[in-house]
Chains A and B, each alone.
Chain A
Amino acid sequence: MSKLKHLQTLAGHTDRAWNLAWSPNGDTLASCSGDKTVRLWTRKCPGSEEWVCSAILEEAQARTIRCCSWAPGGRQLATASFDATTAIWEVQGGVWEQVALLEGHENEVKGVAWSPSGSLIATCSRDKSIWIWEALPGNEYECVDVKQGHAQDVKAVVWHPDGEILISCSYDDTIKLWRESDDEWVCEQTLTGPGLGHTSTVWGAAFKRGGECMVSCSDDCTLKVWACKSRDGELWWAPLATLSGYHDRTVYSVDWSASGAIASGSGDNSICVFEEEEIASSDVNPQQKPSFQLSIRKLDAHPTDVNCVRWHPKDPSLLASAGDDGCIRLWRYQKGLDMAGNMLEAGSAIESSMT
């Protein structure tokens, strides 16, 4: 049996915790909330299993802070707020300072994502637009493109690991893929339609480490896995699997771990972890689609909606979640039976032999 063992609850936010982001080296976890603050959590001392709040970023934004994203170097943090701004924070002389404010959206900014190279920031808003900002030296940020295309709020933006594709998820039930072409970002594909796309708001998405697949989550209570295919020399995203029947309410968040596990967090208070079924190399059939199996369903992971799940970037069995209860929870994921159904992983084998 797989396990999701609760390690610690990080309390401090005084309103719903919306979003989480691990710093690229995994030393810091940022959380943001309806209480208009960002909290930074770090280990109590190096090597400690206990995490504590080490900084509170506040007073830069007047309304809910909905989303946060680290620059790839881990030196800056971008935070998106319902007050229509995106703030950039940086450590200066040991203290986190707000060093820039990105203004331009007409209303609530709902998502922000720093590109893998660090040169671009994408933001999205209830105003239906996506803005691409270029990070210039001296904490200058310049808007280089504004994309219209979605019919409704844009809920989230996510960069492909190679930085060449940006995806956007929307209240209009679609996912759009954007690629740069001649200094302009163009919508290359829209994932939508009967039997193909989601049937309600798409809340989030995440890429598999290599970037060949992505997973999206929706108010339609499903997760969808998409694969990048080559067609007539062009790259194209096609549906690979729909994971339905695991969540009873909106799936707000999804993340794909470095070791290949998919975690999802939902309005049904649960967290699910899925593993890709391994196909034995002897019977690889190119027509066969990989399938995904539920590894564990943790009911009442929070006493409220789970708004965000994020795997640690370096320790792929460490998961953080954020809930409407304002708390952050840390979990240790132990994969039990492998998908062939009979062998235990070393870690859980040791544990079970001791009990």
Chain B
Amino acid sequence: MDLINPSPQVFERKDTDRKARTKQELAEDVRDPIDALEIFEHVRDLTDPEHPYTLEQLKVVSEDAITVKDDEGIVSVLFTPTVQHCSMATLIGLSLRVKLMQTLPSRFKVDIAVAPGSHSTEAAVNKQLNDKERVAAALENPNLLEMVNNCLAGSYR
């Protein structure tokens, strides 16, 4: 099969250690709100469906494109497919959703979308990724689930 993007640009993994921890963050009896960096840590090492690189290395996901409203329980992730016509966009989006469903407390609502202007069928991809009935049905499909699990595997290493 021809690759959709035969030679993607690969970037280095960023060092994102939390440099400055506030006194409050270090206190053990205080609940730390979930922030964009924490979400990024969950999704940065997902593997691209067609390359042996992580979504971070391909700049598909970045900390800047993640918004968290901890008090309202809303997480929003924008991702940027490597090419405009990427047919893997829904698979990447689905993998992001599954990863966050598995790791976040159920009180969180997760919105996944391609970054504005980054995909030729942006509205259609976004609508599909945020229709939970379609997502539920997709995850009952063994072939699709296997592809999702392949993308997720790297993030558990």
Complex: A305 Cα to B136 Cα, angstroms = 14
A107 cross-chain contacts in B, Cβ below 8 A: 137
Q: Mark A1-40, 1 if CB is under 8 A from B, else 0.
A: 0000000000000001000000000000000001000000
Binding site for B on A (CB under 8 A): 16, 34, 63-64, 66, 82, 107-108, 110, 126, 153, 155, 171, 200-201, 219, 249, 267, 303-305, 324-325
Number of B interface residues in the complex (CB < 8 A): 11
> When the two chains form their complex, are residues A201 and B137 in contact, meaning their CB atoms are under 8 A apart?
no
Cβ–Cβ contact B127 & A153, under 8 A: no
Least CB distance from B30 to A in Å reads 23
Chain A residues with CB under 8 Å of B134's CB are 126, 153
**Chain B min CB distance to A67 (Å):** 11
- B109, A64: Cβ atoms closer than 8 Å: no
Partner of B137, one of A16, A108, A219, A324: A108
Would A305 and B140 be within 8 Å (CB), given that A200-B127, A325-B106 are in contact? no
SS of B interface (majority): helix
- Chain A residue numbers with a CB within 8 Å of B17 are none
Q: How far is it, in angstroms, between the C-alpha of A63 and the C-alpha of B136 when the chains are bound?
A: 10
A249 and B73 CA atoms in complex are apart in Å by 13
A200 to chain B, nearest CB (A): 7
A171 near B137: Cβ-Cβ < 8 Å: no
- Smallest Cβ-Cβ distance to B107: which chain A residue: A303
Instruction: Determine how close the nearest CB of chain B comes to the CB of A194; give it in whole angstroms.
Output: 16
Within 103-130 of B, Cβ neighbours of A (below 8 Å) are at: 106-107, 109, 127
Task: Contacts A200-B127, A303-B106, A304-B106 given; indicate if A64 touches B137 (C-beta within 8 A).
Answer: yes
Cβ-defined contact, B140 with A82, below 8 A: yes
Q: Is B132 interfacial (CB 8 A cutoff)?
A: yes
Contact A82 B137 (CB under 8 A): yes
A267's partner among B109, B137, B140 (CB-CB below 8 A) is B109
Complex CA–CA separation, A108 to B138 (angstroms)? 10
* A171 and B140 contact, CB distance less than 8 A: no
Asked if B137 and A126 sit within 8 Å, CB to CB, the answer is yes
Taking CB atoms, residues of chain A closer than 8 Å to B106 are 303-304, 324-325
Assess whether B136 is in contact with A16, with CB atoms less than 8 Å apart: yes
**Chain B residues in 8 Å Cβ range of A304:** 106
B127 touches A64 (CB 8 A): no
Question: Which residue of chain B has its CB nearest to the CB of A83?
Answer: B140
List the B residue with the shortest CB-CB distance to A305: B132
28 pairs of residues in contact across A and B, judged by CB atoms under 8 Å: A16-B136, A63-B140, A64-B136, A64-B137, A64-B140, A66-B133, A82-B137, A82-B140, A107-B137, A108-B137, A110-B133, A126-B134, A126-B137, A153-B134, A155-B133, A171-B127, A171-B131, A200-B127, A219-B131, A249-B109, A267-B109, A267-B132, A303-B106, A303-B107, A304-B106, A305-B132, A324-B106, A325-B106
